[in-house]
Amino acid sequence: MPHDVVTPSGTAPIVELRGASRHYGPVVALSEVDFACHAGEIHAVLGENGAGKSTLMKLVAGVVQPEPGEVRVDGHPVRLSSPRVALEHGIVCMFQELSLAPDLSVRDNVLLGARSTGLGFFSYRRMHDVRALLDRIGGESIRLTARVRDLTLPDRQLVEIVKALYREPRLLILDEATSALNASVVERVFTLLRERRDAGLGVLFISHRFHEVEALADRISVFRNGRHVETFDNGRYDYGDIIQRMVGQSIDELFPPKASVDEVPGEVVLAVDGLTWNGRLHDLCFNVRAGDIIGIGGLDGQGQITLLQALFGVLRRVDGAVKIGERVLAPENPRIAKQSSTGLALVPEDRKTEGLIPHLSIAANLELAQLGHDGPGDADFEALAAELELKCASFAQPAAALSGGNQQKVALMKWLALSPRCLLLADPTRGIDVRTKTQIYALLRRLASQGVAVVLLSTDHEELVHLCDRVHVFYDGRIVSTLAGEELTSEAVVSASLDSGAAA
């Protein structure tokens, strides 16, 4: 257990969390976490999307406060009410989202808010220090007077790192700090970090690139579903064991049984051949048959959403053949995509701004897709509501009054009214309670058995493994791995997502 972690130096950890929890509305991001990070160690945090890593970082960096729970710095309880307060304790965070001011020069960005710059008299010595730091980590070509806006993404990341280091932190938090850097630059950054560690710097390190974690970390903490699973020294477990800890046990009773293997495969409903868009999607090829539930997985933002948008006609100038229904081209807009000759439906990612109009009544939301549609007339919304156990006083209620899970049911129902041939779903169970998830899973399986082709984008690996018949794992707009049958395990999905990251 985390309590009996032996302090390497024998002193109190720089930062320690005790029983720290954090909720966002009904969603539990972190739950009773005990965690400590010491001086002179590089501590990696591993976990799937939504495991609570980012929330943990925000707690330590003073962006959010634990409710309830305690933060200790050097053994004393403190309240890190803002990043400024955290900085006073020597905690500096470099976040995933870049925090540079685009219109300021590199020099100004680095010196902005750094310690002891006071009223901002920039001395020649400081400029020299910044230059030296940049040169050390491979930023020789970056001019100090260049505007950040004009730099490439990797260069900006280097400036971020320099900016963070220049503040002379005692604890440095790196959240995907090296995601845009190539291997040789990463190695130089790591060398510098190791040097600083030996001088007593503590580093909290998040990366999806597993090989980076292996190369850099002294200790590793694994998080899952907002809980701290285990902390151990790097090298104690092998790759498979660590993945096992990240993914956890499967929950079989959540998912309906898959279609049996001996069933005759249905006809191809959606055939995608060479789909390419604007440098974000590259030559995607796959088929979806009637009765299939196809999973789309991978790390966040690798083109999964873009694929669904391209199929549904949200994007312009999509290249490649998309054969669906009587059409050979990708639809030009959602209006064409939903016509019964095409038969597509998309349940978008964000139900509050895309899937529904919260201010409108449930009834008005339900009819929005159906109005002006050329397909079969009135769907039996009452029966659907009963099957999904939609909890509402009446259809005249505004959708905003429903809970997240029930809103998602409405967002689904409005499309089911059109009897689509192919249903595209963008992470339909994100932030939804387990019971509603189960209902949605059962519905999807029933639809599939009735011959609907389902494409399910999910950030939940359990879902991909236990609900889907086949899973395409994305990285950088490409399908890097296709898993089915026996190969389709959580470990395989995670490892495919991460390994492709390593290869890039």
Give residues in contact with another protein (CB under 8 A): 312, 314, 333-335, 337-338, 346, 348, 353-357, 359-360, 364, 367-369, 371-373, 414
| Minimum CB–partner distance for residue 348 and another protein (Å) | 6
The nearer residue to another protein, 57 or 356, going by C-beta atoms, is: 356
| Minimum CB–partner distance for residue 373 and another protein (Å) | 7
Nearest Cα neighbor of 78 from 169, 5, 14 is: 14
Could you please report the per-residue DSSP string of 319-342?
A: EEEEEETTB-SPPSSHHHHHSTTT
| Minimum CB–partner distance for residue 327 and another protein (Å) | 14
The nearer residue to another protein, 206 or 347, going by C-beta atoms, is: 347
**CA–CA separation, 185 and 177 (whole Å):** 12
The nearer residue to another protein, 206 or 307, going by C-beta atoms, is: 307
The nearer residue to another protein, 134 or 314, going by C-beta atoms, is: 314
| Minimum CB–partner distance for residue 295 and another protein (Å) | 22
| Minimum CB–partner distance for residue 452 and another protein (Å) | 17
The nearer residue to another protein, 360 or 502, going by C-beta atoms, is: 360
HEC-encoded secondary structure of 82-114 = CHHHHHHCCEEEECCCCCCCCCCEHHHHHHCCC
The nearer residue to another protein, 118 or 377, going by C-beta atoms, is: 377
Could you please report the per-residue DSSP string of 473-494?
A: EEETTEEEEEEEGGG--HHHHH
φ, ψ of residue 347 to 5 degrees: the values are -95, 105
The nearer residue to another protein, 360 or 442, going by C-beta atoms, is: 360
The nearer residue to another protein, 312 or 441, going by C-beta atoms, is: 312
**CA–CA separation, 213 and 419 (whole Å):** 47
Q: Could you identify the residue written with the tokens 């990285």?
A: 475
- Reported as type and span, the H/E element at residue 28 is strand 27-37
Beta bridge partners of 172: 92, 203
CB 370 within 8 A of CB 404: no
| Minimum CB–partner distance for residue 219 and another protein (Å) | 45
Amino acid at 437: K
Sequence-distant (≥ 6) Cβ neighbours of residue 265 within 8 angstroms:
289, 291
Nearest Cα neighbor of 201 from 82, 73, 92, 76 is: 92
Chain-centroid distance of CA 296 in Å reads: 13
How do beta strands 70-73 and 293-298 pair?
A: unpaired
| Minimum CB–partner distance for residue 409 and another protein (Å) | 16
| Minimum CB–partner distance for residue 334 and another protein (Å) | 4
| Minimum CB–partner distance for residue 453 and another protein (Å) | 18
Does the N-terminal peptide bond of residue 68 adopt cis geometry, omega within 30 degrees of 0?
A: yes
The nearer residue to another protein, 144 or 364, going by C-beta atoms, is: 364
**CA–CA separation, 219 and 73 (whole Å):** 19
Q: What is the dihedral of CA 375, 376, 382, 385, to 10 degrees?
A: -40
| Minimum CB–partner distance for residue 420 and another protein (Å) | 11
Token pair recorded at residue 248: 């956890």
The nearer residue to another protein, 171 or 402, going by C-beta atoms, is: 402
**CA–CA separation, 12 and 8 (whole Å):** 10
| Minimum CB–partner distance for residue 359 and another protein (Å) | 5
The nearer residue to another protein, 56 or 402, going by C-beta atoms, is: 402
Q: Could you identify the residue written with the tokens 């790591």?
A: 190
Sequence-distant (≥ 6) Cβ neighbours of residue 177 within 8 angstroms:
94, 157, 160, 161, 189, 205, 207
Q: DSSP 3-state assignment of 424?
A: strand
| Minimum CB–partner distance for residue 26 and another protein (Å) | 21
The nearer residue to another protein, 168 or 354, going by C-beta atoms, is: 354
